[in-house]
């Protein structure tokens, strides 16, 4: 087996809670008393553009929430959106250990809108862990499209068999695996540490 030299990480569901996934949207809808069917139909039409960085967060909110008068402001809603992001301290600690070892190139491959992605990078110190962010909002590609994984390999000039991709969703892992990357489905930090060790990856 080839030696692992690069680790690619999903962010939401691995290192942090998801930024604006179904669970987070549900909590926001309940918090602000919004109609789920109406919101989700608009969200589904815009989410691809939102996560590819083709529309801003302000444009997204104008089309999904503030297309009619609301008893709350954009600022209040936005503050609630970002408050939904929480860290997984054990997973972040593991990633930091691997970065400090200097044995591995550390990068992300994640689907997130630009504003939320930048907020999370800054707030949770991800620049101290990762050298590259292959985020959908920066590259215009989304998981599970093959293109985002190919781009990560091309940018880093890493052979697939030297790479491991960590994600919590099987569909995203399938695409990476088909390109020849090692993959791990994240369940919790302890399990992730064990699975990495099986690949010879340790801090």
Distance CA 139, CA 107 (A): 14
Summarize pLDDT for 48-64 with one digit per residue, the tens.
999 999 999 999 999 99
Summarize pLDDT for 64-119 with one digit per residue, the tens.
999 999 999 999 999 999 999 999 999 999 999 999 999 999 999 999 999 999 99
CATH 1.10.150.240 given to domain 22-83: yes
Residue that has been written with the tokens 């080839």 in this structure: 2
pLDDT band at residue 179 using 50, 70 and 90 as cut-offs: very high
Distance CA 84, CA 154 (A): 33
Summarize pLDDT for 148-173 with one digit per residue, the tens.
999 999 999 999 999 999 999 999 99
Partnered with residue 132 across adjacent β-strands are 107
Domain residue ranges of the chain, discontinuous segments joined by + = 6-17+86-198, 22-83
Amino acid 3: pLDDT? 96
Predicted TM-score (pTM) of this structure: 0.96
CATH 3.90.190.20 given to domain 6-17+86-198: no
Distance CA 143, CA 147 (A): 8
Amino acid 1: pLDDT? 74
């Amino acid at each position: 087996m080839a030696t692992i030299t690069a680790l690619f990480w999903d962010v939401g569901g691995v290192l942090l809670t998801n930024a604006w996934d179904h669970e987070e949207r549900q909590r926001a809808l309940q918090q602000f008393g919004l109609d789920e069917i109406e919101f989700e139909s608009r969200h589904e039409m815009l989410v691809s553009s939102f996560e590819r960085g083709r529309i801003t967060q302000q444009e997204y909110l104008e089309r999904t929430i503030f297309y009619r008068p609301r008893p709350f402001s954009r600022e209040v809603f936005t503050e609630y959106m970002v408050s939904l992001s929480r860290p997984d301290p054990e997973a972040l600690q593991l990633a930091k250990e691997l970065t400090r070892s200097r044995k591995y190139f550390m990068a992300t491959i994640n689907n997130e809108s630009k504003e939320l992605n930048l907020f999370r990078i800054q707030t949770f110190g991800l620049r101290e862990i990762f050298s590259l962010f292959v985020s959908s909002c920066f590259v215009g590609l989304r998981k599970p499209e093959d293109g985002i994984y190919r781009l990560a390999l091309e940018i880093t000039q890493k052979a697939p068999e030297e790479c491991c991709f960590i994600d919590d969703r099987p569909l995203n892992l399938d695409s990476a695996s088909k390109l020849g990357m090692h993959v791990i489905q994240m369940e919790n930090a302890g399990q992730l540490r064990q699975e990495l060790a099986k690949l010879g990856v340790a801090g």
